[in-house]
Structure 1
Amino acid sequence: MKVAKFGGSSVANAGQFKKVQAIVKANDDRRVVVVSAAGKSDDEPIKVTDLLIEIERLRDAHENYQPIFDHVAKRFVEIRDELGLTVEIEDDLRKISDRIHNCSHDYLVSRGEYLTAKLMADFLGFQFVDAARFMIFNGDQIDYKASIQRLNKIISTGYQIVVPGFYGVDKNGEIRIMPRGGGDISGSIMANLVDADLYENWTDVSGIKMADPRIINNSRKINELTYEELQELSYMGISVFQEEAIQPVKEKQIPIAILNTNHPEEDGTLVVDSVNSDPNQLVTGIAGKKDYVVISVSKYQLNKRLDIMAKIFSVIQKFGVSFDYVPSGTDSFSFLARRTDVADKLDVIINALENDCDLDSVKLEKNIALVAAVSYQLSKRPAIAGRILDLLDDSQIKIHLVIQEGSDIKVVFGVSNEDYERTIAKIYRDVNLKAKKLKMVI
């Protein structure tokens, strides 16, 4: 059995609904369909979810949100009418409208998925199953035991269901949403709950590219990669698949297929537990993010000064900033954070480290980009990282830091923002082309 999740672009309008129907009907194994809220299209430049967020903002500011709600309502009614459906979506819209003035953020923002799934279930002739009936949160995590118990009471043998993604309920029955991109997570959880043979993630791209196609024209598609490789690439910035959606299927060894709703005939990317790597394919994928700050601290034999280490971490924790910690020697280590996360706290943090921690030096670097090369080859042949460094040095790209653990499947290079695109291009174009040469010398 397959669980098929369709993203916002796949359900943006009636035309996209028809593509989804053709895909689902082409294979009887697609018995569980999970949908995001209707997304952008040529006629609709704003996602329904973003419109609902704007409604909440206007409501809280005591401004008129009705025109935007009317637009959202009109959009769903038009999809219903163009498809010739009979579902009384107006009743649902009326209930939502009646609750806007005092409803929670999570309830309001999740209604895009709810309405989209209602229409999709009617169009496919499947049973609509509201995620609020069975997707149970326990704190910030899904309670799998409670969720599967509730789901089993709802579905019967031979079931065909449509489920809205992105939300569930807490123990008190209140709507709880997942992070943005939560439709991927919902689909992955559904695959886990029903013990699917395959989790299909349908989007608007034909699989995962080796590098950002906005930087590399005609970037090669990755045909197969492992869960771990996908997780590292997702963490480092590829937007095709949500990082948190990997673990639920990895736990049960359910393969992931990343496919294109607009071109279902094209092969996508398959994600599995292990692959037979081509020894000449040194890098599976390249990803990165711009706009980091790096705070480097040093003190003679700092690794032995637990008292100073405790002071440093106390300062960092006090400001509530999410830093990554990178040891860089016996006397020093660095903290990395996105510039937007640090915001106006940066000068205060630097002053606190300089004045309160008895350090020899505190160094700040801004406008740093992180570029990660990901591959299982890196864990087996760590010298590859050195060869990549040589290639970047030949291009006169200054490396501010390198992060790689001995067993790691990725190596991360810190470069200036202005060298970000050039670094990705250099690794993409030169590393795998030099694989045979590297094989002789590593």
Structure 2
Amino acid sequence: MKIVVKFGGSSLASAEQFKKVGKIIKKDEARKYVIPSAPGKRTPDDTKVTDLLYSCYGQAILEEDECEENFESLLAAIKKRYEEIISGLGLTLSLDDEFRTIRENFSKKIGRDYAASRGEYLNGIIMAAYLGYEFIDAAEVILFDAAGNFDAEKTDKLLSKRLAKTERAVIPGFYGSMPGGKIKTFSRGGSDITGSIVSKAVHADLYENWTDVSGFLIADPRIVRKPKSIDVITYRELRELSYMGATVLHEDAIFPVRKEGIPINIRNTNSPEDKGTLIVEGTCRKPRFVITGIAGKKDFASITVEKAMMNSEVGFCKKVLEVFDGNDISIEHMPSGIDTMTIFVHQDEFEEKEQKVIAGIHRAVEPDFLELESDLALIAVVGRGMRATRGTSGRIFSALAHANVNVKMIDQGSSELNIIIGVRNHDFETAVNAIYDIFVNTMI
């Protein structure tokens, strides 16, 4: 049995949190490979070490006396954070050499990715010393190509070979290296991806992702009061929810383990007895509710293109989409009818180029009518239980009508796994609560 465990920044923010993590790891002999994040916030008004590193590097690359003082102050604050953790754990570890190297590399303006990665790197050294595990620098085993894209195939071969000789190891999350050794990071939250990559490389039986919440919730607790948790969710459901704003797990962390059929378990470091949420390829378990989750985003604009006999005009949709592509505008959603198609885009991306897009569409397809709307929100209602349940869309319409929410758009994917609803920004929270209430509260 092999379990890979990843711990988020809040789980490793202090010596006290480190001790909780140590107990969790030692409780199960199968927890052989550990992926730590950089120390997070100790209190709500605290600063994450990664953010301190970004600020510190920002001061280092400026050549003013005041910036030199700020750099020294920030570097000292970062070093103090780690020394407090080391002292609290009773370790005789010194990071003086590492901080000398960091100072030299910052002065050489080696790059923001290098600066940000040092949070995980240093925490990995401490974690390895605390557990008595081997430390493996992620720069040696997580590879990116010359263009900065993650090289999955080379990484898997190298990492598999390295870990086959290592029974227990700590591999820092979030970063790797490009040809020549330059440090490259994933996007924020990328330690989740590292954990997934390591899980695939060692053919893990389970990937545990420990954070400060007991798994996924059906809805955002900032919108819905005390939403229920999700026991089991499929990769496909998670992908839909992550894309629409659910942020417990980095959405790209799904892909490496999905190929191997390795389940992910989202757990709570502060409540280790909670089972959390299990993320799987597929399951025969019936969900507690018809829906698995609700997620959404605000601030979209829609462009509706109408033309008689549009469906018989070969290449019509392609021509319209090429206008957006030519203006570097990404498309979020695209419902269509017989003579109409509507494109949803991020409003802030679209506003400054809207007249170019309008002119481009007129030239490309000569529409009969073109309409713009702004300040829209998209809500995804996701659930494998919807396939076997009649009238799901009708219940959504009923719930929103009862809450006096005007539906601008509703679209169900052919997989019957999700339904996308468009509403006004100001109706977003009301709509999410109404949908949650009809599918969860009325079923309890």
Contact 2:333 / 2:345 at 8 angstroms: preserved in 1?
Answer: no
How far residue 163 of structure 1 moved from its aligned partner, in angstroms, is 0.7
How far residue 151 of structure 1 moved from its aligned partner, in angstroms, is 2.9
Residue type of the partner of 2:245? G
**Counterpart residue number, 2:27:** 26
Q: Distance in 2 between matches of 1:67 and 1:361?
A: 60
Contact 2:148 / 2:178 at 8 angstroms: preserved in 1?
Answer: no
How far residue 299 of structure 1 moved from its aligned partner, in angstroms, is 1.5
**Counterpart residue number, 1:112:** 119
Distance 1:393 1:184, change over 3 A: same
Q: Distance in 2 between matches of 1:67 and 1:348?
A: 48
**Counterpart residue number, 1:69:** 75
Query: Is 2:243 aligned against 1:242?
Result: no
Query: Is 2:320 aligned against 1:312?
Result: yes
**Counterpart residue number, 2:189:** 181
How far residue 81 of structure 1 moved from its aligned partner, in angstroms, is 2.1
| 1:122 corresponds to which of 125, 129, 132 | 129
Contact 1:325 / 1:333 at 8 angstroms: preserved in 2?
Answer: no
Contact 2:286 / 2:385 at 8 angstroms: preserved in 1?
Answer: no
Query: Is 2:204 aligned against 1:204?
Result: no
1:4-403 equivalence runs, <5 A: 4-42=5-43, 45-63=46-64, 64=67, 65-101=71-107, 102-138=109-145, 141-155=149-163, 159-278=167-286, 281-306=289-314, 308-342=316-350, 344-354=352-362, 357-381=365-389, 383-403=391-411
Unaligned stretches of 5+ in structure 2?
A: none
Residue type of the partner of 2:269? T
**Counterpart residue number, 2:414:** 406
TM-score, length-normalised on structure 2? 0.92
How far residue 275 of structure 1 moved from its aligned partner, in angstroms, is 2.6
Contact 1:404 / 1:411 at 8 angstroms: preserved in 2?
Answer: yes
Aligned residue for 1:213, secondary structure, equals coil
Q: Distance in 2 between matches of 1:162 and 1:151?
A: 13
Q: Give the stretch that moved more between structures: 105-114 or 188-197.
A: 105-114
How far residue 351 of structure 1 moved from its aligned partner, in angstroms, is 4.4
Unaligned stretches of 5+ in structure 1?
A: 437-442
Distance 1:192 1:348, change over 3 A: same
Q: CA offsets, 1:32-52, max 9 Å, x none?
A: 000111111118611111122
Distance 1:231 1:310, change over 3 A: closer
Q: Distance in 2 between matches of 1:234 and 1:34?
A: 22
Aligned-residue CA RMSD (Å): 2.2
Aligned residue for 2:334, secondary structure, equals strand
Q: CA offsets, 1:38-85, max 9 Å, x none?
A: 111118611111122223333445451332222112211221222222
Q: CA offsets, 1:66-116, max 9 Å, x none?
A: 322221122112212222222221111110111113202221111111111
Residue type of the partner of 1:284? T
Distance 1:236 1:387, change over 3 A: same
How far residue 381 of structure 1 moved from its aligned partner, in angstroms, is 4.4
How far residue 140 of structure 1 moved from its aligned partner, in angstroms, is 5.5
How far residue 153 of structure 1 moved from its aligned partner, in angstroms, is 4.7
Aligned residue for 2:410, secondary structure, equals strand
**Counterpart residue number, 1:440:** none
Aligned residue for 1:164, secondary structure, equals coil
Aligned residue for 2:260, secondary structure, equals coil
**Counterpart residue number, 1:2:** 3
The count of corresponding residues between Structure 1 and Structure 2 is 436
Q: Give the stretch that moved more between structures: 19-28 or 329-338.
A: 329-338
How far residue 152 of structure 1 moved from its aligned partner, in angstroms, is 4.6
Contact 2:214 / 2:275 at 8 angstroms: preserved in 1?
Answer: yes
How far residue 279 of structure 1 moved from its aligned partner, in angstroms, is 7.2
Contact 1:3 / 1:33 at 8 angstroms: preserved in 2?
Answer: yes
Q: Distance in 2 between matches of 1:90 and 1:98?
A: 12
Q: Distance in 2 between matches of 1:68 and 1:354?
A: 54
Q: Distance in 1 between matches of 2:160 and 2:231?
A: 35
Distance 1:260 1:336, change over 3 A: same
Q: Distance in 2 between matches of 1:58 and 1:400?
A: 48
Residue type of the partner of 2:346? R
Aligned residue for 1:137, secondary structure, equals coil
How far residue 433 of structure 1 moved from its aligned partner, in angstroms, is 5.4
Q: Give the stretch that moved more between structures: 72-81 or 416-425.
A: 72-81
Q: Distance in 2 between matches of 1:359 and 1:421?
A: 35
Distance 1:55 1:383, change over 3 A: same
Contact 1:326 / 1:403 at 8 angstroms: preserved in 2?
Answer: no
